[in-house]
């Protein structure tokens, strides 16, 4: 049986560049949005024409700020996707949005275009923290955006949070979590702040201008989130992700609100990439497109006759043919992120023809001895998964499987 594929579409526009962000996104280039949408449609047609009958079961519009596009622009992109691929009847189609960029009209049009899941970048409910992150919204805007999304018919909402901020206290984090669950989202993501090289936050911290957050306090915040969200009915299914329990947990104990698109990444399954700087993994390739908006548009406008292997389009500037060892390493790094499902011996063996302990005998024994990984039996298969300590010291575990 052919595995269903996913699609990631990158929208690299933001009204303002936040000081901690290292995503491929640009402020002040909104004039290029119409040309960019046309280039995306060309890329979708180009890849779709070479993909055969590819079933797509998830689509993710990420950014950047995808909600800067208009309803009609989303409708044209969705039409292009439906013409080029077979979207499954129950496809999960997500969009990332900034709370300050949505109106009832826009959300109604986006929902009508077929987008059924929305992920709001909330980050914090505390005004000081939002200001420090240079976010342009306050928490009232979040409350309004959630209510507008509900009225527009979105039954699957994610709210994104960041913890471990400079000068953030456990108290303000607890308040943020409380306010977030009061909004009753189906899904919550919480990531620790990382100070990325090349961002203003990275520069300020290396010059001692930004107080560093205390790693012990960040660990306490993570502990608190695990406990608090569990008590409020959320299943912790991935290191940084929680989904509302809805009685539909399957064999790997996932809520049906778990993000199916991100599960595709964590299970090392194929996804096609569209847009500037987008990364894809399909047909044995990992590949990525040109970063700059103008270069991306020019390459799509000029390269329609290129003879390229599927899944590469004229926008692709990096390609890597995966070795078996690449796939095995990445499989371990990705699947270990799944808190409950972990890495199943049966799935690993059916993909790679050998057992996990045959390939990583020393590493697995050591990680189990150190209390970072545990071995359980589930559904007649052995499963390796991170312990609570392993989730806090994830990098120590992941280092063992780097190629």
64 contributes a contact to ligand SF4 by CB under 6 A: yes
Comparing CB distances to ligand SF4, the nearer of 96 and 345 is: 96
- At residue 332's C-alpha, the angle toward residues 323 and 202, to 5°, is 95
**Percent helix, strand, coil in the chain (nearest 5)?**
40, 25, 35
- Spatial contact of 21 and 199, defined as CB atoms under 8 Å apart: yes
Among the residue ranges 10-18, 104-112, 168-176, 215-223, the one whose residues contact ligand SF4 (CB under 6 A): 10-18
Q: What angle do CA 370, 224, 238 make, to 5 degrees?
A: 60
Residue nearest to ligand SF4 (CB): 21
Residue 254 vs 273, nearer CB to ligand SF4: 273
Distances in Å between the alpha carbon of 50 and those of 87, 100, 189, 284? 16, 38, 35, 15
**How long a stretch of residues is the chain?**
403
Query: Closer CB to ligand SF4, residue 121 or residue 280?
Result: 121
Under 8 Å CB-to-CB from 50, ≥6 apart: which residues? 310, 311
Q: Is 21 in the site for ligand SF4 (CB under 6 A)?
A: yes
Lay out the site mask for ligand SF4 across 95-124 (x = CB under 6 A, - = otherwise): ---x----------------------x---
Candidate residues 7, 9, 11, 14; the one interacting with ligand SF4 per rule CB under 6 A: 14
Helices vs strands, H then E, count in the chain? 16, 17
Stretch of residues binding ligand SF4 (CB under 6 A), selected from 17-25, 225-233, 279-287, 291-299: 17-25
Minimum distance between the CB of residue 376 and ligand SF4, rounded to whole angstroms? 37
Q: Cβ(32)–Cβ(291) under 8 Å?
A: no
In the complex, what is the shortest distance from the CB of residue 166 to ligand SF4, in angstroms, rounded to a whole number?
A: 16
Question: CB under 6 A: which stretch of 15-23, 101-109, 269-277, 299-307 binds ligand SF4?
Answer: 15-23
- 19 touching ligand SF4, by CB under 6 A: no
66 binds ligand SF4 (CB under 6 A): no
Q: Which part of the chain contacts ligand SF4 (CB under 6 A), choosing from 38-46, 50-58, 60-68, 230-238? A: 60-68
Residues 6 or more apart from 370 whose CB is under 8 A from it? none
Helix (H, G, I), strand (E, B) or coil at 236: strand
Query: 71-84 and 104-112 are packed helices; what angle lies between their axes, rounded to 10 degrees?
Result: 10
**Could you tell me how many residues of this chain bind ligand SF4 (CB under 6 A)?**
11
Kindly indicate which of the ranges 59-67, 100-108, 253-261, 277-285 contains the residues binding ligand SF4, using the contact rule CB under 6 A. 59-67
Residue with smaller CB distance to ligand SF4, 139 or 384: 139
d(CA 363, CA 227): 30
Q: What's the min distance (Å) between Cβ of 25 and ligand SF4?
A: 5
Q: 131: cis peptide before it, omega within 30°? A: no
Rounded-to-integer distance, Cα 240 and Cα 29, Å = 32
Q: Which is nearer to ligand SF4, 21 or 217 (CB)?
A: 21
Count of CB atoms situated within 10 Å of the CB of 26: 17
Using an 8 Å Cβ cutoff, are 244 and 257 in contact?
yes
Q: Does 241 bind ligand SF4 (CB under 6 A)?
A: no
Residue with tokens 């100070």: 195
Binding of ligand SF4 by 33 (CB under 6 A): no
- Footprint on residues 121-140 left by ligand SF4 (CB under 6 A): 121
CB 134, min distance to ligand SF4, A: 7
d(CA 60, CA 259): 10
State the minimum distance, in angstroms, from the CB of residue 12 to ligand SF4. Answer: 9
Residue 289 sits at φ, ψ, to 5 deg, of -95, 165
Region binding ligand SF4 by CB under 6 A among candidate stretches 12-20, 147-155, 173-181, 395-403: 12-20
Near ligand SF4 by CB under 6 A: residue from 4, 23, 33, 253:
23
Residue 246 — left, alpha, or beta (φ > 0 → left; ψ -120 to 50 → alpha)?
A: alpha
Q: Candidates 11-19, 73-81, 145-153, 235-243: pick the segment binding ligand SF4 (CB under 6 A).
A: 11-19
Q: Is 18 near ligand SF4 (CB under 6 A)?
A: yes
Burial of 384 per CB tally in 10 Å (0-12, 13-18, 19+): buried
The binder of ligand SF4 chosen from 5, 65, 101, 241 (CB under 6 A): 65
Given the rule CB under 6 A, which residues bind ligand SF4?
A: 14, 17-18, 21, 23, 25, 63-65, 98, 121
């Amino acid at each position: 049986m052919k595995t269903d594929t996913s699609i990631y579409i990158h929208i690299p526009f933001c009204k303002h560049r936040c000081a901690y962000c290292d995503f491929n996104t640009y402020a002040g280039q909104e004039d290029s949005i119409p040309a960019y949408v046309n280039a995306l449609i060309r890329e979708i047609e180009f890849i779709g024409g070479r993909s055969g009958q590819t079933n797509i079961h998830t689509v993710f519009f990420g950014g950047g700020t995808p909600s800067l596009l208009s309803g009609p622009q989303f409708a044209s992109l969705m039409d292009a996707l439906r013409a080029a691929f077979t979207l499954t009847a129950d496809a999960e189609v997500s969009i990332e949005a900034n709370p300050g960029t949505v109106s009832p009209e826009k959300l109604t049009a986006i929902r009508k275009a077929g987008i059924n899941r929305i992920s709001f970048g909330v980050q914090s409910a505390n005004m000081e923290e939002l200001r420090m992150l240079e976010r342009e919204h306050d928490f009232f805007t979040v409350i309004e955006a959630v209510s507008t999304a509900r009225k527009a018919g979105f039954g699957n909402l994610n709210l994104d949070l960041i913890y471990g901020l400079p000068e953030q206290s456990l108290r303000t984090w607890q308040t943020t979590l409380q306010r977030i669950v009061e909004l009753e989202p189906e899904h919550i993501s919480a990531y620790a702040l990382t100070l990325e090289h090349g961002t203003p936050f990275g520069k300020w911290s290396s010059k001692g201008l930004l107080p560093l957050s205390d790693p012990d306090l960040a660990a306490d915040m993570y502990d608190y989130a695990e406990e608090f969200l569990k008590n409020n009915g959320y299943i912790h299914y991935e290191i940084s992700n929680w989904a509302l329990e809805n009685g539909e947990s399957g064999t790997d104990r996932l809520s049906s609100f778990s993000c199916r698109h991100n599960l595709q990444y964590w299970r090392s399954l194929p996804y096609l990439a569209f847009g500037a700087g987008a990364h894809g993994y399909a047909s044995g390739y990992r590949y990525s497109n040109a970063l700059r908006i103008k270069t991306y548009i020019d390459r799509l406008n000029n390269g329609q006759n290129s003879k390229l292997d599927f899944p590469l389009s004229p926008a692709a500037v990096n390609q890597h043919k995966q070795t078996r060892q690449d796939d095995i390493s990445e499989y371990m790094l990705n699947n270990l992120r799944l808190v409950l499902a972990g890495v199943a011996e049966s799935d690993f063996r059916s993909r790679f023809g050998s057992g996990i302990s045959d390939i990583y005998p020393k590493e697995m024994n050591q990680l189990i001895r150190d209390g970072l990984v545990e071995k359980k039996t589930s559904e007649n298969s052995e499963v390796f998964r991170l312990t609570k300590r392993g989730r806090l010291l994830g990098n120590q575990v992941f280092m063992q499987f780097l190629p």
